[in-house]
A = this chain, B = another copy of it.
Amino acid sequence: MRKVYVVGAASTRYGKFDSSARELVVDACAAALDEAGVEPKAVGGHFIGNAFSVAEKQGHLGPLVNTTLGMPEAPSYTIETACASGSSAFREAFVNVAGGFADVMLASGVERVSQLDTITATSFFAYGSDFTFEGANGCSFPGLYATMARSYFQKYGATEEDLAHIAVKNHENGALNPKAHLQKRIKVEDVLKSMVVASPLKLYDACPFSDGAAALVLASEDVAKRLGDSRVEILGSGRAGTIATLQDRPDLTMIPSTRLAADQAFKMAKIERKDVDLSEVHDCFTIAEAVALEDLGYVKRGEGAKAAREGLTARDGKLPVNPSGGLKSKGHPVGATGIGQIVEAYEQLLGRSGPRQVPDAEVALTHNIGATGGSCGVHLLGV
């Protein structure tokens, strides 16, 4: 297995745009290739994370994007694993370079949903659940994550206020991120007073629907060395699934695919949890970040919800989590999310994150969930 590096990274702003998905992802890819100093013709293939482009009446994004980029001959693939589409696309680009099938690959992700009304957008998202048993019965993702939160509260005595601190912390970081969708600080009271979406989760416990795109250029060691110093090594990669529907799981306070994927990634990287300097974690709802900290093996069971409240996961805490603002504040353009997390890791590890920089960051972890954990991707990156 060959060493693989990220040698270029870029993203659009996250938010609401008139541009189509194809335009957004072309912008991100062109910027990433430019930053890497890689000619489009050198790219051996392109994986695009995307879930809903059909809502814009456009499938088969790859050839359109590759043609515009000036690399029509490169094979392309749209990968969909619901909200984990981005990390899945990254994983396969990594596998292709590590396995010697290509020296340079492009991994991107994109989503555009702001043209849809809230009900249609929520429906499209719910197609990522087991729609027959969950979505069609009215249990879309707010309901599913609310069920997990309720179960977690019951088991560990955590509170809505604990979760509110997670939202406050991520908005604190996102306010410093010029690419973030919701660049504003909020207070615990704002969260607690916000509209109930699915009790105990409120509007400010949830990430927004965002448009946006992100892209990464991956390269073999030889190519990376030739390109110069702006490179980050992919230390470990893990991908796993778990029982698809919540109703069939023995325990609703954990997502087993996170643990499996993380164990794979740490094993490949040959490093320990304590070696990680910052983490971008899938906080589609505040409860998801709490559970992820436990599933990733950072804190003991039952201690994830209070980590933000106690300052552990603050940018200047012992375990910085979501310095980008996370899905909660930076935004959640579904197919782009997993790629965007790695863009943040890349910039942090190269010391380019300005006022939200985590000092002396040498190892970063990214964690990306599809649906309620039916898909999970965890990656470790280092300089």
**A interface residues with partner B (beta carbon < 8 Å):** 1, 20, 45, 51-52, 54, 57-60, 62-64, 66-67, 72-82, 88, 92, 95-96, 98-101, 123-124, 126-132, 135-136, 239-245, 248, 256-257, 260-261, 370-371, 374-375, 377
Contacts and interface: CB of A to CB of B under 8 A. Distances in A.
Contact of A99 (B64, B79, B95, B130): B95
Given A245-B67, A248-B67, A371 B72 contact: no
A75 B136 contact: no
A60 B239 contact: no
B79 A244 contact: no
A375 B75 contact: yes
Contacts of A135: 57
Given A77-B88, A100-B99, A63 B241 contact: yes
B60 A100 contact: no
A72 B375 contact: no
B77 A79 contact: yes
A229 B92 CA distance: 31
Contacts of A127: 54, 57-60
Given A95-B95, A101-B99, A245-B67, A62 B78 contact: no
A38 to B, nearest CB: 17
A371 to B, nearest CB: 6
A54 B260 CA distance: 28
Nearest to A58: B131
Contacts of A45: 239
